[in-house]
Structure 1
């Protein structure tokens, strides 16, 4: 059973909004695009596992995607946590193209692609640290201590995997296509029931309560100024900025696409990059609108929660996220 499904993280949405609003020649753009690509790859890798996880017995395995819990030094995050009455299983998902070399002599992961080598942090150390953090968290919360298994899952079938040292690390690495077989093996090994059904449900609810989503300020992260960002409504067809509001429609000056609702994704960008509320003046400035009345009509039509009245009306944009 998938207790905590995988949703597009707000961090990805914020980075996508910043990518749309940052000029193509901006010095920070390559760094931004690289981080966004890495996060999207991780998200898609996790998403691909659901195909295999759905084949597990519903009442026996409880699955949490992207679980972020408070630890001794900030937070620790688990790509996937599988909970049973007998054991925990932490899954660290790697969706990296090319050939991967697990080098335990120097505790690094090396990706070779198109003749270029690139180093990554050692996922074996990473998942062992996650195991320790989860164990400490359970102890501090006075929760039952279950055996904790760990696996690194290579989600792409095109990725080639090599190891450069002891073959013992192979037990930590698997492919998504054989993940269910690994879980069936753990099921056959861990036969001692540690949790009752009632305790299992209670722990499941507690995990959800303790989960704290990651929140970043993308402009601070990449040292980008508000004045660097492009304002206006972007075209949903060719992504050009800005569209123009003419006779009750948004018109693209590049591809001439017209839309009645193109302002909605742009207001979402404002929500992710600036703040969760907007007033008429701020909306006119961001969407390049000249008419106060037209702006009021557009905002009112969205049926957003409001506060204040008349010229002091503030619209709450969080409803657009759903």
Structure 2
């Protein structure tokens, strides 16, 4: 997923960490969620490696990189890690932080890895198929904008410990340290022809057509009963849920840590985990607050969108 994508105001990694922290240790979905957290963290690390490596890229022509893309055509929405815009072509950049021995099965159009230590076979989503889908999407979008540029792509495997056992024909796949050389090679295959639009204008058009990253609160997305969620305000000092209102701040009753922003983080946790709207009572129940006035002050501290009359008013994070 894109580095900057948010769920209820939290990054996906923060949201998953929050969910795991608020679930019982013996919850049946814990192992699955821990794997999701590991993969989300690995994906973000991989994207960062790719972006850092691209800082060494240069051509003596007009070019523009674009990172963290969320685009849609009608009901068709895609997320792409990055694009390289040039007058020759557009190159979609997809990072994959997958370790171990990597196999592309051309006969079955499948992708799997074998672990170095145990030799276990693990089938994964084929990144070549994903890239082809993104190429079709971008070709269609460029055509709708009357931009005449060919589209191709490069898949970059960013894990330090990965080894290609096979590669599919007709797809550009490399490791991080090889990325820029592969980009130069791809560009050599396309003639240098001026695009119908300036590259800087195409970039502005793409950025102007970004859509918000949309994901349901994690309890809904992973089918977890909200009643399983531990309530209370999180303490960054001792990682308990024992923060209490103390004058104009919050203080942990276990370790004494003070944090004036603790309640605001709890509001973001609620949106990320429980629901897209929150009422005064729901905030009080979640934060163990007794005073409706104190809860109202917390809600008004953020630029939330109110709906309904005063007695039934609820708030959302964004329109």
Match of 2:226 in 1: 226
- In the alignment, the residues of structure 2 paired with residue 122 and residue 280 of structure 1 have an alpha-carbon distance, to the nearest angstrom, of 46
The structural deviation recorded for 1:119 is 0.7
What corresponds to 1:7 in structure 2?
4
How many positions carry a matched residue from both structures?
309
Gap runs ≥5 in structure 2:
none
Aligned equivalents of 2:131 and 2:304: distance in 1?
Answer: 43
Counterpart of 1:134? 138
Residue of structure 2 in register with 1:211 after alignment = 210
Matched, 1:160 2:163: yes
Query: Residue 249 and residue 199 in structure 1: after superposition, are their counterparts in 2 closer, same or farther (change >3 A)?
Result: closer
Greater percentage in helix: 1
Among 98, 101, 106, the alignment partner of 2:100 is 98
Equivalent-residue separation in structure 1 for 2:251 and 2:204 (angstroms):
48
Return closer, same or farther for 1:298/1:211 CA change in 2, 3 Å cut-off: closer
Residue 311 of structure 1: how far off its partner (Å): 6.6
The alpha carbon displacement at 1:292 in A equals 4.0
CA distance 1:293–1:126, shift in 2 (3 Å): closer
Cα distance between partner residues in 2 of 1:305 and 1:151? 40
Q: Is the 8 A contact 2:251 2:258 kept in 1?
A: yes
So what's the TM-score if we normalise by structure 2? 0.81
SS at match of 1:137: helix
Q: 1:64 to 1:16 in 2, by over 3 A?
A: farther
> Per-residue CA shift, 1:67-110, capped at 9, x if unaligned?
23324762233222211121010122110122222222322222
C-alpha distance in structure 2 between counterparts of 1:77 and 1:245, whole Å: 41
Contact 2:219 2:274 survives alignment (8 Å): no
Contiguous gaps of at least 5 residues in structure 1: none
Deviation at residue 159 of structure 1 after TM alignment: 1.8
Matches within 5 A, 1:144-223: 144-163=147-166, 168=169, 172-196=172-196, 198-217=197-216, 218-223=218-223
Q: Is the 8 A contact 1:144 1:194 kept in 2?
A: no
Residues 1:306 and 1:71: Cα distance change in structure 2 (over 3 Å): closer
- CA distance in 2: counterparts of 1:43 and 1:34, whole angstroms: 14
Q: Match for residue 122 of structure 1?
A: 126
Residues 5 and 213 in structure 2, CA contact (< 8 A), matched pair in contact too: no
Residue 304 of structure 1, CA deviation: 4.4
Three-state SS of the structure 2 residue aligned to 1:42 is helix
Specify the alignment match of 2:257 in structure 1.
257
Q: TM-score, normalised by structure 1?
A: 0.80
CA RMSD, 1 decimal: 3.3
CA distance in 2, matches of 1:305, 1:137: 33
